[in-house]
Structure 1
Amino acid sequence: MDTEDDFVLISHSDCQPPSYLSEIRAVVAELADDLWPVNKKIHDNPELGYEEFIAHDALTSFMRSRPGWKVTPSAYGMKTAWVAVWDSGRKGPVVSFNAEMDCLPGIGHACGHNLIASASVSGALATASLLRNHSLPGKVVLLGTPAEEGGGGKIRLLERGAYRNIDLNLISHPGIVADTSLMRTSAFSAFRVEFFGVEAHAAANPWLGINALDALITSYNALSVLRQQTMPGDVIQGNISDGGVRPNIIHAHAAGNFVIRSNSQPRLRELRKKVEACFRAGSLATGAKLKITQEGSYMDHVPNRVLGASYTAYWNAMADDAAGPPWDGRIPEDQDVDEIRGRTMASTDQGDVSYAMPSLSAGFAIPAGPEEQGPHNPEFAEAAGTRTAFDVSLKVGVALAGVAVDVFTKEGMLEEVKRAWRKDVGK
């Protein structure tokens, strides 16, 4: 047993296989044939953020068919958000699951959100089944969360009270590399930059103009110089969306879209100051007026190690089961190693959830295609639609349910989860 500050982490090597594993697996196995067509329908009908009408209808219809669940479609003023609740009727922990639904423009479900939904749906249903079978107090909440791909659906849900009075949140994400219980994502900020100058004829009287494009190019070059002094977790990306109308004029307007990422919110704030200084330099050098419009931001995801330890115990118990399908490997029980494996420069609105409450975002590997392309590639979209990938997502659902059941049944665990969370986010 390892003690860290004011909370306790239990070494898995000292534990017996999870008590409820076989029961959870049986519930999920019974769901598989009914849930597969829902998964397939979502995958084969990809929909962009806030337009997930087919996915919304398929998932809410499926949840309505399950006894004891109260389903609210088009929840919280969002047409494609939904919520399903199973309530024991007795006060206890409230555990939530997120089901993502949206696709990527042009390449379908190349982020595997159909699998995320299947894992969360199966996990939530299995959790409720065990609460019912063992007469445990508490509540299970399953949220249909639109528009993860840049739309910030979970942020809107947070703002509108969807996560109020919920103790913790569980989700997962597919990839092609290592399985992990401690996915840590990057903080992200997107913004539009515009420069406003004065138009003039470039040959007849250029001295009368103020070149907005020069201001943008100067800023872009300054960003390139800045990269030499940035930290390993920093990313600066951008494109020029408006470089002027004609080549023979001094350009009165220029614009670009920019994205910055860092390992944490504090570091992102520091990077943002440096990036904005580059744009002010372009304005100062040319006399063009600068306008920066914020277009979106995601916080970094802070994984909860107490929840992660529970997930790892269930996952590795299944990995050790010779009767199951072949597994590529176990999740490291050394959580420092696991968190390094779980680090990604990608960003997600689940990060914002992790600052509002304890969060687990588990990463899971699905079989890659011939080119071994990961998420956001066409080949990954194809891989995400296979029955094999779906079967892996159900294993994830089992492990997520295991975490939830541990919270409901292990005395003091929820308090440990919350203490760890307060320490991690500085509350």
Structure 2
Amino acid sequence: MMKETAWNWIDTNRDEITEISDKIWEYAEYGLCEDKSSKLLAETLEKHGFKVKTGVATMPTAIIAEKGEGKPVIAVMGEYDALPNLSNKRVPHKEPLIEGGMGHGCGHNIHGTTALAAAIAAGKALEEHKLKGTIRFYGTPAEENFSGKRIMVNHGLFDDVDAALSHHPGSLNVATLASSNVISGCRFHFYGKSSHAAGNPEAGRSALDAVELMNVGVNYLREHIIPEARIHYVIEYGGGQPNVVPDYARSHYYIRAPEQDLLEPIKERVMKIAEGAAMMTETRLEADIGYGGYHKIPNRVLSEIVTANMRAVGEPQYTSEEYAFAAELAQSIELEDRETALRKNKVPDWEKYVDKDIVTTIFDAWNDGTTSPGSTDVADVSWITPTMEFNTACNINGAPGHSWQFTACSGTAVGHRSLIFAAKTMAGSVLDLLTNPDRVADAREEQLKRLRGKTYDKDPTVEAPLEKARELAKEYMGKH
């Protein structure tokens, strides 16, 4: 009965929910600068009776909102930052809304709105059925670049939470049990000396040469690191024009590995390569070792609760128009790439899904003991409290994350269908946790067992790099 209260509220308010998601999709804001998106979420929560705090943990766009009182405290987490260069119209072909602009190529407009709708819906049930406990919404900025949850964790904002739920749009419906890679993000600034590239090249010291030599060195390093690790980079700035020896250049690296102690030796070697590149080119290096994180601690108890709620809600039912949109969009990917994605992720009976543009099946989690190559700041939360981030099929089958295809899906009816399914699933799971203290205790016991005595090393002095974020936002969002 209490779940029906929550689910009926979502059905009744479907248009408002999808409109909020679409507005955040249109705002497409850079991490730590999600001013319009966070304002919309905070005002909506306040309108529905939540006590709202904004600007927490040194982040102006961070939100904590709650309804109810006492234990248990059940958290839902929502993200709303977009990605550079992934702007696209709501069409099944590549057509940027703004050339070079920001876009929700990871579906965070749906991510944040799912948590919002679930919190409000579960809150309505909490009031109507006079349930005990607290529902808490965390608006977590900058997942893609500065790891807002990591900052909130370091400030102790999850310490009293009994369980936390998150939803991430994907291409399958599953409450995954995979862990995630640890990540370290590093910017390397090289400073040289400018000169005329033709007239006085001997007088110059090229910062771009240093960046390129570092990249070459790192590419040779790849053979000598563990196969599960990942290193990727972009050159963010390489100079102005070819006839000037660049006196400044900058690269941005991500280094990933399954656990922190496996990451550190790789990071140290990358640093040595950067120092060597500076020495070879007689340039000066400034290394900006920024955000980092932990690997995710999966939780089977929470996975089972979420999966049961997925099944209670039922597989999403798409219209013929939505399937037609997905089919046209699917023409942008190779069937071989779809097959590779299914096989790589060891999807059970993957052969059955090769010809499916949208996968509606609800899977039992099959991937306990594996590590996803990606990284997320949800992992930091999982060290503090039992945590589950589940996926629903928002993107078409086989299309990559961080892609224009994902941006297109996130702003259309295909994404809306995933959003409503996820919001009902999350609301039902919140209510199960509020009313079943034994399951909450089981989830905590499992979390502690998986941690094997390890603890999170908090630093309450951590601050959000707001100046850097605003500078980058100006660069990336200047076209908007």
State whether structure 2 residue 355 is matched by structure 1 residue 355: no
Q: CA deviation at 1:110?
A: 1.7
CA gap 1:243/1:395 in 2 versus in 1, 3 angstroms? closer
CA gap 1:292/1:48 in 2 versus in 1, 3 angstroms? closer
Q: Which residue of 2 aligns with 1:364?
A: 392
Q: Which residue of 2 aligns with 1:300?
A: 295
CA gap 1:204/1:99 in 2 versus in 1, 3 angstroms? closer
State whether structure 2 residue 72 is matched by structure 1 residue 93: yes
State whether structure 2 residue 67 is matched by structure 1 residue 78: no
Q: Which residue of 2 aligns with 1:36?
A: 18
Residue by residue, what CA displacement relative to the aligned partner does 1:92-132 show, whole Å, maximum 9, x if unpaired? 21011112122222242222111112211122123223333
TM-score (norm 2): 0.72
Residue 375 of structure 2 aligns to which amino acid in structure 1? S
1:72 counterpart SS class:
strand
Residues 305, 429 of structure 2: 8 Å contact kept: yes
Residues 159, 385 of structure 2: 8 Å contact kept: no
Q: Which residue of 2 aligns with 1:405?
A: 431
d(CA) in 1 for partners of 2:243 and 2:383?
51
d(CA) in 2 for partners of 1:374 and 1:246?
34
CA gap 1:192/1:58 in 2 versus in 1, 3 angstroms? closer
State whether structure 2 residue 20 is matched by structure 1 residue 60: no
d(CA) in 2 for partners of 1:230 and 1:151?
25
d(CA) in 1 for partners of 2:102 and 2:244?
39
CA gap 1:142/1:258 in 2 versus in 1, 3 angstroms? same
Unpaired runs of 5+ in structure 2?
A: 85-100, 319-358, 456-480
Q: Which residue of 2 aligns with 1:279?
A: 274
Which range moves more in the overlay, 230-239 or 195-204? 195-204
Match of 1:182 among 177, 183, 186: 177
d(CA) in 2 for partners of 1:239 and 1:418?
40
2:65 counterpart SS class:
strand
1:412 counterpart SS class:
helix
Residue 72 of structure 2 aligns to which amino acid in structure 1? P
Residues 174, 364 of structure 2: 8 Å contact kept: no
Residues 169, 395 of structure 2: 8 Å contact kept: no
d(CA) in 2 for partners of 1:240 and 1:149?
18
2:180 counterpart SS class:
coil
Q: CA deviation at 1:141?
A: 0.7
Residue by residue, what CA displacement relative to the aligned partner does 1:282-306 show, whole Å, maximum 9, x if unpaired? 4566676544221322333332222
Unpaired runs of 5+ in structure 1?
A: 1-18
CA gap 1:39/1:198 in 2 versus in 1, 3 angstroms? closer
State whether structure 2 residue 325 is matched by structure 1 residue 325: no
Residues 319, 329 of structure 1: 8 Å contact kept: no
Which residues of 2 match residues 103-114 of structure 1 at below 5 A?
A: 103-105=82-84, 106-114=101-109
Match of 1:226 among 200, 221, 245: 221
Which residues of 2 match residues 359-398 of structure 1 at below 5 A?
A: 359-368=387-396, 373-398=399-424
Residue by residue, what CA displacement relative to the aligned partner does 1:131-187 show, whole Å, maximum 9, x if unpaired? 333333211111222222203222333344432422222111112345343353322
Residues 235, 260 of structure 1: 8 Å contact kept: yes
CA gap 1:325/1:198 in 2 versus in 1, 3 angstroms? closer
Which range moves more in the overlay, 174-183 or 133-142? 174-183
1:356 counterpart SS class:
coil
CA gap 1:285/1:78 in 2 versus in 1, 3 angstroms? closer
Residues 190, 297 of structure 1: 8 Å contact kept: yes
Residues 181, 311 of structure 1: 8 Å contact kept: no
d(CA) in 1 for partners of 2:155 and 2:448?
23
CA gap 1:233/1:333 in 2 versus in 1, 3 angstroms? closer
Residue 39 of structure 2 aligns to which amino acid in structure 1? D
CA gap 1:286/1:335 in 2 versus in 1, 3 angstroms? closer
d(CA) in 2 for partners of 1:76 and 1:187?
22
2:103 counterpart SS class:
coil
d(CA) in 2 for partners of 1:50 and 1:255?
21
Q: Which residue of 2 aligns with 1:148?
A: 143
Which range moves more in the overlay, 179-188 or 239-248? 239-248
Residue 293 of structure 1 aligns to which amino acid in structure 2? D
d(CA) in 1 for partners of 2:245 and 2:34?
44
Match of 2:373 among 345, 366, 370: 345
1:417 counterpart SS class:
helix
Q: CA deviation at 1:395?
A: 1.5
Which range moves more in the overlay, 180-189 or 114-123? 180-189
Residue 358 of structure 1 aligns to which amino acid in structure 2? P
Residue by residue, what CA displacement relative to the aligned partner does 1:253-310 show, whole Å, maximum 9, x if unpaired? 6543322122222222232123223334445666765442213223333322221121
d(CA) in 2 for partners of 1:210 and 1:184?
44
CA gap 1:48/1:280 in 2 versus in 1, 3 angstroms? closer
Q: CA deviation at 1:49?
A: 2.1
Which residues of 2 match residues 111-150 of structure 1 at below 5 A?
A: 111-150=106-145
Match of 1:49 among 28, 31, 49: 31
1:126 counterpart SS class:
helix
CA gap 1:108/1:417 in 2 versus in 1, 3 angstroms? same
How many residue pairs end up in the alignment?
Answer: 397
Match of 1:171 among 153, 156, 166: 166
Residues 79, 111 of structure 2: 8 Å contact kept: yes
CA gap 1:404/1:244 in 2 versus in 1, 3 angstroms? closer
Residue 225 of structure 2 aligns to which amino acid in structure 1? T
